[in-house]
């Protein structure tokens, strides 16, 4: 069984794909799994419709708080691969499985680091617990003090740590014990410090690896995500088989032809509706002596579908449209503030796909009242996946009035937060003799407090203790209904060329839709004079260069 992912075959050799084009948005989102920095930074990437949440931990346990990469990769894996997860929103323009695989790879790298740190913790900390607790208490106090912007408080924290070090040296010189306990007390003072140096080397090596992967993804080298735990090597490996099935389910759901309309939020995954053009006229026989030849909405839609496939062709050799994706969509309405979606089920659905006969039935029958609706969509993925343009067409017949509605949806680039490359940590300091000048000083890649945080968290990062770790340090809550692409997408209208592309697509699509529909009407004996006049008027209106908030009804 082949699964579209970073590997050619999930059962075969793990050969990562490299050099993929048009994957800038995918790799930008995947890079978040390797990032460091505060977890709260993800809130800067939220848009007006979809908000992430940072679930706080215990105030006294800030040392267990995860960073951005740890929280993001854990949250994405849990949300997208858990056996009992809620349905996901399709991520148009990216490969969500690639993002999830990088999150799994980041988790594996950190897990290997934490296994080594746990060994250091046991040897240098747990076996010498009294000394370890004293050092840990000093670091925790210093960490909490460092959060203050008061320079005096920060200096006090550093002085406190130095004072503890001085007391430790004095304790070694003036040992109050003799025999075995004297040697144990000396070891209890020294071994946590030795463990810190050992842990620092482990943390720095892993931090360099994570940052190299972060930079490589944003530079387009498309490094492969190694996920050996997703490849069962024997029939008894239930966890690997479950992970493989979860990845396959994710890939199948990404290909679903069912989408959701959330009021002003537009079609989830496709963006808000920025324009709508309607052609509605009565069905009148072209020959008064004859009746109209019976036809159905599906006949009109099928003709439109065939003509839309010709959009990439033109009379002039000047570039033009790339090949679009043309699909029949079943659109389900949900509440604006709905926290979950429910995909269609039953005999008419297979592998998240509404079957063809059911699509035709919805197109022909469900045009008024409750229920799902049918739309024909033509979609372009542009700017390396940063811009998704979707034009949706629906045909309805009520009494003797045929209505053809074309709507434009646009999903903009991922937030610039995900495009930021790693930078070496530095700070500005005042020169000793020239107080009016400053110089840049490089800081360690992993700070003292960070080494302590990682070493203390390490024994609790096993999946069995994950709920406890989340309770102590907090976790990241993803926006619902969740989809990787639309959750952190900006509007395209601030980018001049992206806005131009979205607006330019509307006119040719509208004209092709109208021409195909009028041809069907003529073939079935309908007077198309009014349809043609109305189509010409809409061709003028569609050239208005201003996008609207078409789903915000001012009533």
Q: To 10 degrees, the CA torsion angle through 334, 336, 339, 345?
A: 10
Contacts of 394-400 with C-beta under 8 Å, sequence gap 24+, read 395/297, 395/300, 395/301, 395/304, 395/363, 395/517, 396/297, 396/367, 396/368, 397/283, 397/297, 397/367, 398/367, 398/368, 400/282, 400/283, 400/284
Q: Give the tens place of pLDDT for each residue, 156-214.
A: 556 666 666 666 665 666 666 666 667 677 777 778 888 888 999 999 999 999 999 99
User: For residue 62, what is the enclosing H or E element?
Assistant: none
Pick the more confident residue, 372 or 225.
Answer: 372
Averaged pLDDT, 385-394: 94
Is 60 exceeded by the pLDDT of residue 497? yes
When pLDDT is averaged across residues 41-59 and rounded to a whole number, the result is 86
Least confident of 27-36, 148-157, 167-176, 498-507: 148-157
**pTM, full prediction:** 0.85
Please check whether residue 471 is in contact with residue 63, taking contact to mean a CB–CB distance below 8 angstroms: no
- pLDDT for 2 beyond 60: no
Pick from 105-114, 228-237, 282-291 the range whose average pLDDT is largest.
Answer: 105-114
Q: What is the pLDDT of residue 355?
A: 92
């Amino acid at each position: 069984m082949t699964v579209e992912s970073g590997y050619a075959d999930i059962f075969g050799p793990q050969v990562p794909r490299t050099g993929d084009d048009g994957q800038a948005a995918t790799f930008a989102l995947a890079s978040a799994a390797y990032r460091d920095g505060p977890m709260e930074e993800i809130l800067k990437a939220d848009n007006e419709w979809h908000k992430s949440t940072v679930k706080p931990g215990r105030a006294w346990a800030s040392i267990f708080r995860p960073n951005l990469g740890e929280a993001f990769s854990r949250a994405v894996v849990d949300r997208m691969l858990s056996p009992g997860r809620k349905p996901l929103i399709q991520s148009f323009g990216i490969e969500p499985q690639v993002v999830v695989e990088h999150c799994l790879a980041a988790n594996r790298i950190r897990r290997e680091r934490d296994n080594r740190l746990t060994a250091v913790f046991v040897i240098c900390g747990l076996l010498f617990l009294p000394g370890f607790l004293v050092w840990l208490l000093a670091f925790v106090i210093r960490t909490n003090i460092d959060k203050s912007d008061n320079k005096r408080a920060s200096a006090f924290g550093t002085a406190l740590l130095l004072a503890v070090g001085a007391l430790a040296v004095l304790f070694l010189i003036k040992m109050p014990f003799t025999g075995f306990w004297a040697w144990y007390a000396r070891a209890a003072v020294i071994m946590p410090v030795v463990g810190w140096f050992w842990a620092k080397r482990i943390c720095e090596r892993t931090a360099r690896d994570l940052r190299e992967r972060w930079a490589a993804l944003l530079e387009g080298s498309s490094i492969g995500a190694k996920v050996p735990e997703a490849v069962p090597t024997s029939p008894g490996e239930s966890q690997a088989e479950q992970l493989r099935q979860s990845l396959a389910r994710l890939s199948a759901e990404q290909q679903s032809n069912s989408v959701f309309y959330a009021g002003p939020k537009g079609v989830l995954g496709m963006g808000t509706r920025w324009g709508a053009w309607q052609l509605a006229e009565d069905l009148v026989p072209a020959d008064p002596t004859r009746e109209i030849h019976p036809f159905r909405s599906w006949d009109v839609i099928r003709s439109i579908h065939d003509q839309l496939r010709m959009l990439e062709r033109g009379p002039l050799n000047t570039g033009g449209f790339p090949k679009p994706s043309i699909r029949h969509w079943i659109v389900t309405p949900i509440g604006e503030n709905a926290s979950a979606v429910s995909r269609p089920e039953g005999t008419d659905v297979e592998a998240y796909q509404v079957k063809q006969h059911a699509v035709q039935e919805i197109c022909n029958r469900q045009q008024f009242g409750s229920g799902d609706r049918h739309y024909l969509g033509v979609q372009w993925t542009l700017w390396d996946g940063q811009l998704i343009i979707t034009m949706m067409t629906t045909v309805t017949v009520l009494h003797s009035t045929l209505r053809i509605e074309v709507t434009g949806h646009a999903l903009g680039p991922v937030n610039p937060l995900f495009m930021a490359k790693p930078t070496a940590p530095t700070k500005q300091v005042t020169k000793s003799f020239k107080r009016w000048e400053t110089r840049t000083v490089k800081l360690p890649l992993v700070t003292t407090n960070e080494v302590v945080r990682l070493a203390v968290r390490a024994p609790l990062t096993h999946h069995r203790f994950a709920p406890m770790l989340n309770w102590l340090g907090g976790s990241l809550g993803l926006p619902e209904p969740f989809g990787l692409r639309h959750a952190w997408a900006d509007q395209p209208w601030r980018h001049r060329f992206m806005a131009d592309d979205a607006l330019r697509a509307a006119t040719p699509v509208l004209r092709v839709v109208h021409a195909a529909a009028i041809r069907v009407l003529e073939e079935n004996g309908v007077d198309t004079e009014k349809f043609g006049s109305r189509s010409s008027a809409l061709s003028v209106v569609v050239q208005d260069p201003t996008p609207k908030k078409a789903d915000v009804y001012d009533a």
